[in-house]
Structure 1
Amino acid sequence: MNPAKALRIVIVAPETLAPDPADPQAEEEAERSRSLRIGMLQDGYNIVAVLPADIFLPDRLAQISPDMIIVDAESQARDTLEHVVVATRDARRPIVLFTNDDDTSHVRDAIAAGVTAYVVAGLAPERVKPVLEVAMARFQHEEAMRRELADARTQLNDRKVIDRAKGILMKRHSLDEGEAYARLRKTAMDKGMKIADVAQRIIDVADLLG
């Protein structure tokens, strides 16, 4: 299967591609937006919705649950990004921003807020697919690093809890460290629990009893 076809994408942008002809900036933005969507469709991407950046965006994204979010923004790019970042706070997804704004002073803030790729102007339709593929790969790499960091923190916390519980058992039952750990492990096996959870219960009871 073409991975592009499996990727469900929501575009956050003004819904109209027919701006006021008297507004050259709006016409330029509309042309960029058309080029972007043409490139995505030519590469087989599945554009499931085009949504405005309004107060309903979080609920709409939650309902659609896309694989990637494209922010096609210009004059209100910062406001749009704020809506998107809030909407994806509890369910992270790759976010790609396309803009004609060459003011890069807020790129660092955008990346820190969760934007995976920041593309400024001059994007031909044939360049859309490589940009999205790199954005997805980067997002997946960052998520893997986040999971590894979270696992490492959990393991460190578990070790601290187990060490404290061993200390309690050693003091109250005159056990050495090996015996205390063996008791924790046996209790965990008997009850079908994690050793860290058994250790936390021992700590909770000890705290209650003073």
Structure 2
Amino acid sequence: MGIRDYPERKRFKEILRTMGVLVVGEGEEIRALINLSSRVCPDLIILDEKLGVTKTLPYTKIFYESRLCPVILYVEQLDWEYLEDFKKGPTLSLLVKPVTALSLMGAIYTALTNFNTYLELVTQKEDLEKRLEERRLIDRAKALLMRWENFTEDEAYHYLREESRKHNISMGKVAIGIIEKYT
């Protein structure tokens, strides 16, 4: 938890404690909080919009892209300009003063839900990229087999599939072997 005002931080801890949430770390400096989070792996982090002279909104990207944890950004007030910046960034939930147990619970739920959705989308994206790359390799290997072995496209595909089954490896790995052999 990164809340700059000690009494406010203490109040947050008390609300979280009554909700059954364990606070595993706190601080007033963004870089220290990033380091702590990478070591402790918290379920989420609550960041004040400003820690010292540092605006924290740009730093939320670090938590997001490294998949450390969801971020709740705690702000004193909202204006349109801030909301526009918020939309561009990766923060997963906003919490506006004054904080109640109910508003904090809603922010936690939103942050965790959005983060899990983000992780699922990233996993799907990575899987699709991997499958697309494997497809490209297979197509390239088929082209090489068609050129150097005079296979038809169907014969080249069948050959790749049979080699994959025979050696119990993916067609992508077979394709890499063929590409290495003929290039």
Report the equivalent of 1:90: 66
Q: 2:6 is matched with which residue?
A: 16
Q: TM-score, normalised by structure 1?
A: 0.74
Structure with the larger RCO, 1 or 2 (CA within 8 Å, 6+ apart): 1
In the alignment, the residues of structure 1 paired with residue 41 and residue 128 of structure 2 have an alpha-carbon distance, to the nearest angstrom, of: 29
| Unaligned 5+ runs, structure 2 | none
Please name the residue that 1:4 is paired with: none
Match of 2:111 among 126, 131, 135: 135
Q: In structure 1, what is the equivalent of residue 91 of structure 2?
A: 115
Change in 2 beyond 3 A, CA 1:70/1:149: same
Partner of 2:133: 157
Q: Which runs of 5+ in 1 are unaligned?
A: 1-10, 18-29
Which residue does the alignment assign to 2:174? 198
Sequence identity (%): 20
Q: Classify 1:34/1:55 alpha carbon distance in 2 versus 1 (closer, same or farther; 3 Å).
A: closer
Cα separation, partners in 2 of 1:184 and 1:13, compared to 1, 3 Å: same
Distance 1:50 1:56 in 2: 9
Paired residues for 1:1-210 under 5 Å: 11-14=1-4, 16-17=6-7, 30=8, 33-74=9-50, 79-86=55-62, 89-207=65-183
For residue 102 of structure 1, give the secondary structure of its aligned residue in structure 2.
coil
Pair 1:127–1:105, CA change in 2 (3 A): same
- Check conservation: 2:45, 2:70, Cα contact below 8 A: yes
Question: Contact 1:164/1:203 (CA < 8 Å) preserved in 2?
Answer: yes
Q: 1:132 & 1:54 partners in 2: Cα distance?
A: 20
Offset at residue 49 of structure 1 (A): 0.9
How many positions carry a matched residue from both structures? 183
1:39 and 1:56, CA in 2 relative to 1: closer, same or farther beyond 3 A? Answer: closer
Moved more, 98-107 or 178-187: 98-107
Name the residue aligned to 1:22.
Answer: none
Q: Deviations over 1:59-94 (max 9, x none)?
A: 322111112111134475863334453355423421
Cα distance in 2 for partners of 1:35, 1:170 equals 71
Whole-angstrom distance in 1 between the partners of 2:53 and 2:16? 21
Distance in 1 separating the partners of 2:30 and 2:98: 27
